[in-house]
Structure formats: C-alpha cells, structure tokens
Structure 1
C-alpha cells in the first residue's frame, strides 16, 4: 500500500472513529491531524509546542527523547495540543492500526481539554501566542546579545513552577467584592445630606490613611505564592525586556499547569475511550492482534513508577462498575440506584483533578489489585516503605500537591529593611534538595538584586539558606 492509499484509509478510519466517539458521548473541538517525521515530532515533544522560544534545556530534552527512540527504548506515537481547533501530530512510520488507536486516544484528550473545569481558564490560542513571544525573544537576542538573554532565561526557568494557578479566579472574586463595596458606598452616598458631611469625609480619609500606613509596614501584606509575579511586579533589577520574558514564561506555565495536575485523569480518560472505540469499530484479525499488543504496552506497569494510563483507566472502570451495580450497602448509604456508571465518569471528567480523583476514588481493592506501595532509599538500597492502603493513597496524593513542586511563599520583600527577599518553604514531610537550593538561590539573586533568604526544614530543624551575591550561608534558626 503506497502513502496515498494509506492516507485515504486513515481519512476513512478517522470519519468512522469520529462518528463512534460522538455516538459514545464525547464532545470535542474540531480536530486536525498531521503526520510528522520523528525529528519533527520529537522537537515538538521537547518544546511542548510546535512553536516556542529557543533554549538549551529544550535541546537537552530533545536529545534524550530522540536517543530513546533511536535505540527503541521509548516512542512518542502522537502529540496533541490543547487549542481550539485542536491539533494532533502523528508519528511517521506508525502503522495504520497504530494511527487508528492514536486518533481515538486523541479525540478523548480533546474532550477532556474542552470539558474539564481545570482547563476552563487556559488560553486556546497559545500556539499563536508562543510563536509571537519566540519572535520577540529573537529580537532581544539580536539587541542585547544571545548569551545575555539565554543567561536571563536560565534564571527565569529556575523558578518557573512557582506560580499561583488560581490567581485569575482569585482576582475575579476580589473584583466582585470590590464592586459590591463600591455599590454599598454608592447606596451610602444616597443618604440625606447634612451640614456635617465634610467632617465625616475627613474622618473616612483619616481612617484610609491610617490603614495605608499600616499596610506599608508589611510587604507583602500577606504571604504570596506567586514568586514569578512578585518579582515581575516588584524587582527593581529588571529591565522591560526581562519583565516581558518572565511574563511569557509565567503565562506558558499557566497553560501547562492544568495538564500537570490532571495527568492521571487525562491519560486514563483517553485510554478508557480508545479501548471502547476500537472495540466497537471493525478490525480484521491482524489489526485486532496488533491493537491488543499496542494497548498492553501502553498499560504495562513498572516496579518504580506509576503508569498514569493504567491507574487512570483502572479507576474509571472501577467507578463505572460500582455506580452501575452498587452493593446493597451503597444503595442504602449513598442512594445509588444503579445504571449510573457512564453519567458518573463524565461527571468526574468535568469536575476533578488528580488529587481529588485519587482521594475520592482510589479504593483499597484497587490498591491491592495493582499492588501499589510506597518506597524509599534505605542506605544504598530502595525498599518498600508502606503497604497500608490509606497511607499509600495519601502518599500518592501528597506527591501531587502543588503539581509535585515545593510550596514556597514570599514572606517579606523588604527583609531587614534593606530590600532583601525572605522566602519560606512550607515543609510537609519532604525535604528540599540542598544541591538544588544552592544552585537556584544565585539565580533568584540575579532577578531580585538583593540578598535572598530561604527558610526550610532539614533533619526536623528549621534552616535558613542565604545568598548575598558573593557567598552562600546556612544556619539553623
């Protein structure tokens, strides 16, 4: 079969798969597929998007993934972009049945992007935004020198995960509160005028001035989680082009964050539906065997890491079964009438993220069936540390809190009344990597321009790491 014939077969298959997905209840944006050679799709995989600013870390990621592909140690079958319309890139060299499975998988991903609450506020035109940003970065390289721009990007990327993903939601809530207060003031202003109104206005002005003076004493007024935004807004060290670069990196992290916090759900959802779609469409004997081999490879488990495809699939199937056929106790206790499995998994898809997904639906039976456990390094060996199902579940949930990154807040932006930056790591049982701390603090100093302090916990003792631009120090506090 030549390439034109294969494309015709794939186009026909896509129509069948698309119709079957809609028949089963999936709701997705218009889809566009493109077949790409390995070097292109692995470039997309390294950058996370088809177009993005250039940086050596992306080249490092590309080299690693492409080497795994070349030595048949790993393979990217597709890449899908969260956009409207939705774009997916298929690996050149995939067999027809592999591309059929991938297309079914991708349609479910698109359904998840469109309908999950955590993607509600993500931009759907990031491909264009990233392309525009990449062009500006190239102009900065031409104007200020490539080495200077790349060095600054190094510093910005070192803290890119320290954002507040819900900031836009919080701002919306604050705006509504502000409007309500303005409305109340307007209603108050409609009261009957008296000769003493100017005195009341003076008193209100005095109170506002007093409040402002109190606010100045503490900066920020409350601890702030969005370290990126805090530096963008308050650093006196940054030039406009540097603020632009940091703003772009922060915006891109906001785009990728929902994918990080729904990885298990998203992959489980896509696996659940590619399995059902492929079972419902016509496959010949050869295709059936190849599909079974590919699917088993996707859900293959490991002793040392969680397979999100398998765990997500198992939970969705278990929820569907339990809501379709509740036990007498579940019928009485939860009011489940039965036959509600599909409705329930669509409800979960719309409202949950990985943390609530695991917390609410990862059961003792599933943990025992999948033989999940927690492990840690004891001496020079890795050993199983915990098998109790609730502790295993809670350990998995804990590892995904804040996207799996340390929770660090800005405590004081004028520490010692000298413009120093004081950060606090909110310790929850997992220590920071000291080597990473000592490498990252100098980057922070270059962004802030004054001494950096980071409070954390080591060996159950509070420790303060500091860097003044020349040397690092560490002391117990």
Structure 2
C-alpha cells in the first residue's frame, strides 16, 4: 500500500466502527514503517469511554494499579471538571509496554481516531522503544506483569495487616516518590518480571539479616571508635534514592513494608524517563502524526474536510501563548518539540548559510528522517534544546532572555538576537529542562546508628531556591515515620556549602503501631 493513491477515502463522515479502525491502522502502518522507517513494539489498540479515561487518569495512566485513596480523589476531581466543561480529556493514552497499549476514546470522530493512531501507536511507540533514557531505565516487556504483582501483593497486605497500616505506608512512600529514583544509569534495565518472582527470596533474606544487623549496632563508648567515613561508606552514603535507603536500612520497618517501598520506587523509576523527555516524546509523536496525516490527505485516503478537522486539532495542540498574552505559563512541550523537529527538517533540506555554520553535520544532508531518528534515540530534552534550537527559530518565536536579580528594582534584557544572545537564550532554555533543576537535590548523608539513630538529610540549594517550609515539614514527617527516629534536614548552598536552614521531625508513635 506504500505510495498508493486511494480510489476512495477511508471515510467521509465522523462515524466509525471497529472494521474502519482496522482499515485505518492498515493504511497508516506502511507509511510509518516502510516510508518513515519507524521501529515500534507490537500495538494493542483498545477503545475506552470517557469514564474509563477518567479512571485511567486517576491511576497515572496505567492499566493495572494497586488501590489507594488518592486515586479516587483524583477521579472525582477530574470527573467534576470534565462534567462542568472546565477540562477536556486526552484523545488517547499510550502505555510504554510490550506490546504497546493504546487507549482511544470512543467519543472521538473517525478523523481523530486516525490522528491518535498515528500519534500514539507509531510516534510515541517508536520513541519509547528507541530513546536511550527509556532503554536504560524501563522494562517494557515486564511492566504489566510487575503491576499485576504489585496490585496483588498490596491487596494481600491489606487482608493480612489491615487497610490503615498499608495506607499509611503508601501515603508516606508516595510523598517521597520523586526522591525514590536512581538518577544515574544502570548497566541494563531492571527485569521487572523477575522482580515479582524474587519477592519471597528477599523476604527470607530480610528475616535472617535485619534482626542481626540492628542487634549488633554498637552502643555507648564503643560508638566513638567507628570513624564517620567508614560508617557512611558501610551504609552507601550519600544516597540520593531515599526510598531505596529506607527499604534497605530502615530499622523499624517490617518486611512487607519494605516490599511496598520497593514497589513504589520501582514504579517511580519507570516514570523517571518521561520526566526527562516530555518535549521530545510529544514532539516526536506530533511530528509523526503530522507527516502521516499530510501523506494520507495527499494520497486521497482522507477528505479535505477531514484534513481541516485534523489541522484545527493540530493547531490547538501546538499553540504557544506569547509572554505578553496573559496565557503564558511556560513552553508548551508539543509546540517546542514539534517546532524544533520541523526546523531540523528545514535545515536538512533547505539550509541557509547560517544553518550551515551552526549545524554543519546535518545542514543539507537531505534525509531528515534519519537525522530525526538519531536525535530521538540519543537525546533528552535538555541536550535536545541545547543542541538544536536554531537562531532561525529564536527569531521566529521572538525569544529573548530577561535577567531578574534579587535586590535590584529593574529587569534587564540579557540576551538579544545576535550570536552571543542566541547561545545564551539556547543555554538558558535548555537549563529549564535539566532534571536537577526541576526537582530538589536531596540526599541521605549520615545516620548515627551507634547513638540516637538520627537520620541526617541534606538539600543542595541551587540559585538560592530553598524548599517551601510547609511542604518540607509534611514530607519530612513522612520520612520520620518510615525511619522510626528523628530526621534532620539541612539546606546547604551547593557552591559555598554554607548551611542556610534546617528542619527536623520526630516520628509519630501512633503511626508506628
């Protein structure tokens, strides 16, 4: 079917049935796989209602998940906003799994079903399978089996230990979820299918080891004989993954509580790549659907009216409010990703002298898809913006950089449209996608096992931005409850190492019972 002109459009109205969905997929597939040469997991397409989409929202988009009160709260909030017309729903949800699961809304028109198949089943799917961050951190083949295990295990814990104790552990673990990831790559992605099978083995090991570990902790005068460096080294400190540290070293946690912490942190790790690649992932899917829908229209597979419906939706998706519009709330990841990728296509096919100077390796190469596939595989948002935001796009989007210094009454335009300004603007925007600046750098740095077992945690403060006192107090309380002893959080300037502020929390003894 590659390159074939249609004798008649696939559809002429908005109605669809499952037979039409199948014909749409069979028409889109050769364009994506043979012409664009995308590499995807096998696709599984499911049609869901608006209520099912709301339910998927509440469980962070996963088809299987354990029960927790926060998911019900999220469902009620989203449903109320949707029913009042204050919030729309996504046309689709796509799961990074093998096979790749694509949920299509049954309320979509035939045009929108075509669009979301192109967007999710081929664009997102290719990105999930090929981007290096996902390869390092996720196990697409094992995630569904692991979620099934997690759901079953937590249900069993509720039956055995009671709903409230399990809920308390989940509440605390969720509060620390963003501090429950390893930020540096492993040699290979974790085998989640094997993780579920090893739970019984881990429990037997804990039963044998942990009591002995804490019984042999020295007390009294012997404590002074342990060098602090040796003590920290033995515990693997500093440790950025707080949930991992609690799972391995929490003195008062039972084996089932450790396993719940493990479940939460492995799921947090699964989502970690998505936080680093939002603009690239959505840009890849949007660029893919634009290419496929345009090709379908050129070959007569969709009508002019259908193409206009698509363009209306596409334009809304990539709309970027200007800074002075009153609607600006940062950069739309769809607009940023699609804009840079479309500009890369221009540079590959019709470069200017400026493009040849800034992008000598890709300017005039002609094969935009090969360049884009290499970028989709080997970059994340920060490096993508810092390498490929062009002066042409900076001028087109009228970007500039403002310097806002604390203590000064006036703002200063710090970068304009000249060579130095282009580099400053690009570097400044790229830093907005640096994962270390999106989330606070908080690490466990010490614990006095031989004395009062006070856990010392440190926040490396960047650019003077400290933690919100209220949020810090609530999260620290959850950490203290899991640790079982006092926790001290120090906020330290990342450059001068000067202590700026400290917070402390004592465990809630009622929580521990």
**Partner residue in 2 for 1:441:** 476
- Within-5 A mapping of 1:266-305: 266-281=281-296, 282-302=301-321, 303-305=328-330
Deviations 1:70-92 (A, max 9, x none): 23322211000111111101111
Distance 1:232 1:111, change over 3 A: same
- The superposition leaves residues 348-405 of structure 1 with CA deviations (integer Å, 9 ceiling, x where unpaired) of 10000111111211234424433456789999xxx99867365554444334333721
Cα 1:299–1:414 shift into 2, 3 Å: same
1:241 corresponds in structure 2 to: 256
Q: Give the structure 1 partner of residue 118 of structure 2.
A: 104
Matching residue of 1:224: 239
Matched, 1:59 2:93: no
- What residue is the counterpart of 1:465 in the other structure? 503
Counterparts of 1:147-166 in structure 2, within 5 Å, are 147-166=164-183
Supply the distance in 2 between the matched residues of 1:396 and 1:8 (Cα, whole angstroms): 46
The counterpart of 1:16, out of the listed 10, 27, 32, is 27
Give the 5 Å matches for 1:400-419.
Answer: 400-402=433-435, 404-414=438-448, 417-419=451-453
Secondary structure (helix, strand or coil) at the match of 1:120 reads: helix
Cα deviation 1:191-237 (Å, max 9, x = unaligned): xxxxxxxxxxxxxxxxxxxxx97863435454221111111111111
SS at match of 1:90: strand
- 1:177-216 matches, cutoff 5 A: 216=230
Structure 1 residue 142: Cα displacement:
1.5
Name stretches of at least 5 consecutive residues in structure 2 with no aligned partner: 1-11, 190-225, 322-327, 416-421
Q: Report the RMSD for the aligned CA atoms in angstroms.
A: 3.1
Separation in structure 2 between the aligned mates of residue 131 and residue 385 of structure 1, nearest angstrom:
54
| Residue 397 (structure 1) aligned with residue 408 (structure 2) | no
1:106-130 CA-to-partner distances (Å, cap 9, x unmatched) read: 1110000111111113111212211
Is the CA contact 2:14–2:109 (under 8 Å) kept in the aligned structure 1?
A: no
Query: What TM-score do you get using the length of structure 1 for normalisation?
Result: 0.82
1:199 matched to which residue of 2?
A: none
Q: Does 1:41 align with 2:60?
A: no
- Which deviates more from structure 2 when the two are superposed, residues 80-89 or residues 397-406? 397-406
User: Aligned match of 2:43 in 31, 38, 43?
Assistant: 31
**How many residues are paired up?**
428
CA 1:138–1:8: 2 relative to 1, 3 Å: same
Aligned to 2:163: 146
Q: Contact 2:92/2:116 (CA < 8 Å) preserved in 1?
A: yes
Does the 8 A contact of 1:431 with 1:457 survive in 2?
Answer: no
Q: Aligned residue for 2:459?
A: 425
| C-alpha distance 395-31 of structure 1, shift in aligned 2 (>3 A) | same
Of residues 76, 83, 86, the one that matches 2:97 is 83
Q: 2:183, 2:311 → 1: CA distance?
A: 41
Q: In 1, are the aligned partners of 2:182 and 2:240 still within 8 Å (CA)?
A: no
Partner of 1:362: 389
Taking the aligned partners of 1:46 and 1:126, their CA distance within structure 2 comes to 18
Corresponding residue SS for 2:447: strand
* Aligned twin of 1:347: 374
Give, in angstroms, the shift of residue 14 of structure 1: 1.0
